[in-house]
Amino acid sequence: MKLYYAPGACSLADHIALLEAGAKFEAEAVDIHTKKTASGEDFLTINPKGYVPALLLDDCEILTENVAVLDWIAEQYPHLRRDGVLSRARQLEMLAFISAELHAGFKPLWHDGTETEKEKARETLAKRFQFAATRLNGDYLFGDELSVADCYLYVMLRWTEKFGIAVPDALLRFQWRMGERPAVQAALAREDTSASHSHSASINDAVRENSPEHRFERPIHDGAIAAAYYRDADADDELVFIHTEVPSEFAGQGIATDLARGTFELLRQSNRKAILKCPFMQHFYAKHPEYRDIVVG
């Protein structure tokens, strides 16, 4: 069995669940931008949809989509599902809510929507997380034992940190409990390692400056690009970053983060500075103070 994942993506839920289950499996990172796996395979031959998760079973069947993969894991490892009447239906009910109402609700935030769209998304998500808090029944969603739905909810809570969405204290405590679990720590360590390797190998080469269009570009796939737009500042060695854009079909895959990191590295190499008016660039810099030498203000 092999899990194909992308660091930081929703496939982290499946990664955690398999480790919690004690399953014997391989895990291979996927570069969603190039559609190549860490071993050099064409990921589109594994999952033609081009995104993670994808779970290769021992009989060579491929499962995709978080709800399906997590449900399958729970069926194989019953200690990861709730007990009682309607046990599977209730867990599917929660998985569907997380997928359709929480996961999908982040779309304007991942997709660089307008400020109005982003604010509306934050308000809506805050209400939906309030509902999610009411579904906790003990330490976890279905009592004092973890389920696969908890793994998915945990990943969504990690995303709230990225986008500044307020969540109830009960969910913050839940997130802390999840973060203390050895399986969660192991999954995060593995994904952080693969992400660091991927970044060091390719990001600086992938990002390029398009001076006539006043933007830095990150090629994605089949001619699609992500772009960080800028205007000239008063000083010759400064650029004002005003907007970051990723095509909607590639949202949620860490592409904007790759773009920002590569852009800052190119600015450092050319001895230029950045003035950050773009909200995403501001957020990236808040998480990466190692670039303070090139950021003005």
Q: Are residues 131 and 62 in the same domain?
A: yes
Residue 297 lies in a domain: no
Residue 225 region by backbone torsions, left for phi larger than 0, else alpha for psi between -120 and 50, else beta:
beta
Q: What is the pLDDT of residue 133?
A: 97
Helix axis angle, 148-163 to 87-97, nearest 10°:
10
Helix axes 66-76, 148-163, angle to 10 degrees: 140
- Residues 174, 262: one domain? no
Looking at the structure, tell me whether residues 160 and 45 fall in a common domain.
Answer: yes
Task: Write the CATH number for 36.
Answer: 3.40.30.10
Kindly state whether residue 202 falls inside one of the protein's structural domains. no
Q: What is the pLDDT of residue 143?
A: 93
**Amino acid letter, 201:** A
Q: What is the pLDDT of residue 205?
A: 54
- Give the whole-angstrom CA distance, residue 225 versus residue 246: 7
Q: Is residue 40 part of a domain?
A: yes
User: Measured between alpha carbons, how far is 82 from 46 in angstroms, rounded to an integer?
Assistant: 31
What CATH number did the domain enclosing 262 receive? 3.40.630.30
> Quick check: is 20 in a domain?
yes
The pLDDT value recorded for residue 167 is 93
pLDDT given for residue 254 in this prediction: 75
Q: Average pLDDT for consecutive 10-residue bins of the chain (297 residues)?
A: 93 97 95 88 95 96 97 95 86 97 91 84 96 96 96 95 89 94 92 59 68 91 86 92 87 81 92 94 89 91
Query: Is the separation of the CB atoms in 230 and 242 below 8 Å?
Result: yes
pLDDT score recorded for residue 174: 95
CA 240 to chain centroid, in Å, comes to 27
Find, among 208, 109, 206, 158, the residue nearest to 7 by Cα.
158
For residue 22, the enclosing domain spans: 2-193
Look at residue 137 in the predicted model and tell me its pLDDT: 94
Question: Which CA distances in Å does 51 have to 82, 104, 120, 127, 195?
Answer: 28, 15, 26, 28, 16
Same domain, 216 and 167: no
Number of domains making up the chain: 2
* pLDDT value, residue 214: 95
62 close to 56: Cβ distance less than 8 angstroms: yes
- How many Å apart are CA 68 and CA 95, to the nearest integer? 9
Q: In what order do the strands lie in the sheet with 2-5?
A: 36-37, 26-31, 2-5, 54-56, 62-64
| Segment holding 274, helix H or strand E | strand 273-276
Instruction: Look at residues 1, 5, 7 and name the one whose alpha carbon lies nearest to residue 189.
Output: 7
